[in-house]
Amino acid sequence: MIMFPVIVLLVYRLNRTLQSFANSLKDKTLDLEHERKRSEQLLYRMLPVAIAQRMMRKKTIVPEYFKSVTVYFSDIVGFTTICSKSSPMEVIYMLNSLYSVMDERIEKFDVYKVETIGDGYMVVSGLPIRNKDRHALEIALMSLDILEIVSKSEIPHLPDEKWQIRIGINTGSVVAGVVGTKMPRYCLFGDTVNVASRMESTSKSCMIQISSTTKSALEQHPGFSLQTRGEMIIKGKGLMVTHWLTGHQTVCNCCDCMDQDLFITDVYVHDTEIHDT
């Protein structure tokens, strides 16, 4: 009988210790789950969700062929000049400011942001989830929207100067897959990507240059304003007929800095002559 109160006290203390441990374990589990979700969200920003989920399950990522997608490239006109008037910290801040605006705008469209490299911005529609024949429509509307909002934005540390970007678009087939293991990247390969890049590099300030394949795809969706630019000498491709996307009936026309002299045919220009960074 003398030991009974002691035993009760020991059991009580043991029970409190176990309860405290259980509560602590529950908190740790919740913290671990929170961190797991944060890690997943970060991975989902770097890779398509379906691809990221396969990687987390340690499944093989097989490159995938997409018969028809539309690829977008843009860069900043005069970026080298802007950088010469800016500190490295100002360059990082201004690019983050610009890309934050663009990232917000593309959320309205069925597109996937592939990457940014320096002042270059790459987006695609039609993958990783196929959207039938809507990819050209989505990229075209997104391009007009981006051009309008960016052209109205000021460079943060150069308030007297506004952003000017040039855009290039092409439609065709690509192969997409994950490259690398330490910092895996979802990359697109194929001539379609190369031509889209050339459409951007041979475009003009505040203009959207598109290939003939993109023009054909957009003609399936009424309402777009298109103008033939003419034949251009495109590096690696030779002569190509290109076109300007200038507006849509539901979107304002491209920014006021458009040069009406650009709407001409039978023009022969080397891409190095009109790349004005």
What does the pLDDT look like over 14-49, one tens digit per residue? 777 777 767 777 767 776 766 666 766 676 677 777
Residue 27's pLDDT is 67
- 258-269 mean pLDDT: 40
Q: What is the pLDDT of residues 185-224, one digit of tens each?
A: 889 999 999 999 999 999 999 999 999 999 999 999 989 9
Q: Encoding tokens for residue 13?
A: 């203390």
Helices and strands, number each (H, E), in the chain: 8, 10
Closest CA to 65 of 177, 169, 186, 217: 177
Say how far apart CA 153 and CA 108 lie, in whole Å: 19
The answer to pTM > 0.85 is no
Which pLDDT value is given to residue 175? Answer: 96
Q: Over 70: is that where the pLDDT of 231 sits?
A: yes
Query: Confidence band (pLDDT; 50, 70, 90) for 11?
Result: low
- For the beta carbon of residue 257, count every other beta carbon within 10 angstroms: 13
Sign (positive/negative) of CA torsion 96, 85, 207, 199? negative
Identify the pLDDT of residue 155: 86
Taking Cα atoms as reference points, which of 123, 27, 32, 139 lies closest to residue 75? 123
Q: Which residues make beta-bridge pairs with 166? A: 75
CATH code, residues 64-274:
3.30.70.1230
CA angle (259 as vertex; 255, 261 as ends), nearest 5: 150
Q: Which pLDDT does position 59 carry in this prediction?
A: 80
Q: How far apart are the first and last CA of the chain?
A: 93
Q: Per-domain residue ranges for the chain? A: 64-274
Share of the chain above pLDDT 70, in %: 79
pLDDT at 256 over 50: no
| Cβ-contact 200, 167 below 8 angstroms | yes
Of residues 69, 242, 101, 265, the one with CA closest to residue 168:
242
Coil, strand or helix at 192: helix
pLDDT at 140 over 50: yes
Q: What percent of the chain has pLDDT over 90?
A: 49
Q: Are 186 and 47 in contact (CB under 8 A)?
A: yes
Amino acid letter, residue 237:
K
Phi, psi for residue 235 in degrees, rounded to 5: -55, 125
